[in-house]
Amino acid sequence: MELATSAKSLTKDTADFAKSAVMTKLFKAPTSESAILWGLLHIKIVRCKNLRNLDKLGLKSLIVKRKKDLSDPYVTAWLEDYRLLKTRFVDDDLDPVFDEEFYCPVAHVTEGIKFKVKDKDVVKDESLGTYFLPVQELIQMNEDGDLQRVGVHKVVYLDGKKSHGSLEFFVEFLPVRMLAHTMEVPGVYFKQTKGNDVKLYMNADDDGSAPIVTYGEDAKVWKPPRLWRGIYDSIFNAKDF
């Protein structure tokens, strides 16, 4: 009985130790430069400009002969060793436009977000540059000490060097207190409502040039709804704003 009890206690201690190790990794004690990000990160990678060309003398240029032989950039973002996102790569472009958005649930103690721009290659992807966004730029509190919603839009030089090109991005931090229990629509933190009326519009407005469409046995003529007229009527007839 004592042996069984000891084995059970040892198993519990092992499980507690493993749980503690995981929690310590995620929620390690903040330092003066770190803070807890608990909530949702909305990140948009907009574009890069004037990137360096690493393919000019690379292995790919020796294997594949092409008219253009430029870097094939893509972007990743990290919280310590946790990867938040990875964009698609853009083939042969030193001024790539990504326009990709990501919604990343987070619960980490971190010093900030590290953006890495890399050149996709045959053997090993090469670094085109990095930028570090300190977490303190995403932390703001109101008079009651509650974390606020914060958005940051930046155009920055990679590695702090103009010759390495620039990265444009947007980062928004939504604290967990502002999030609903479940997010039916990613990035929308308002509570879900029911009983809403929805009207679908094919075009912003119909100037009479749309083709005549008939339907039903008595050949009724379909009249497309008019978006701008609908907005005007809704505002004009509204009782409350």
Give the predicted TM-score (pTM) of the model: 0.64
Full DSSP string of the chain? -HHHHHHHHHHHHHHHHHHHHHHHHHSPPP-TT-EEEEEEEEEEEEEEES----STTSHHHHHS--S-----EEEEEEETTEEEEEPPP-TT-SS-EEEEEEEEEEEEEESEEEEEEEE--SS--EEEEEEEEEGGGG--B-TTS-B--EEEEEEEEGGG-GGG-EEEEEEEEEEGGGS-SS-SSTT--SPP--S------SSS---S-SPPEEETTTTEEE----HHHHHHHHHHT-S--
The pairing of beta strand 35-49 with beta strand 97-110: antiparallel
- Only one residue has tokens 């930028």, namely 131
Contact present, 105 and 119 (Cβ < 8 Å):
no
> Residue 123's pLDDT is what?
85
Buried b (16+ CB within 10 A) or exposed e, 82-101: eebbebebbeeebebebeee
> Residue 191's pLDDT is what?
67
Per-residue pLDDT of the chain (241 residues; tens, 9 = 90+): 444 444 445 455 555 544 455 444 544 555 668 898 999 999 999 999 999 998 765 555 555 555 578 999 999 999 999 999 999 999 999 999 999 999 999 999 999 999 999 999 888 999 999 999 999 999 988 888 888 999 999 999 999 999 999 999 999 999 988 886 555 666 565 666 778 777 777 677 777 777 788 888 888 887 777 888 888 888 888 877 6
| 134 φ, ψ (degrees, to nearest 5) | -60, 140
> Residue 190's pLDDT is what?
65
Buried b (16+ CB within 10 A) or exposed e, 124-163: ebeebbbbebebeebeeeeeeeebeeeeeeeeeebeeeee
> Residue 215's pLDDT is what?
83
> Residue 126's pLDDT is what?
94
> Residue 23's pLDDT is what?
46
> Residue 182's pLDDT is what?
57
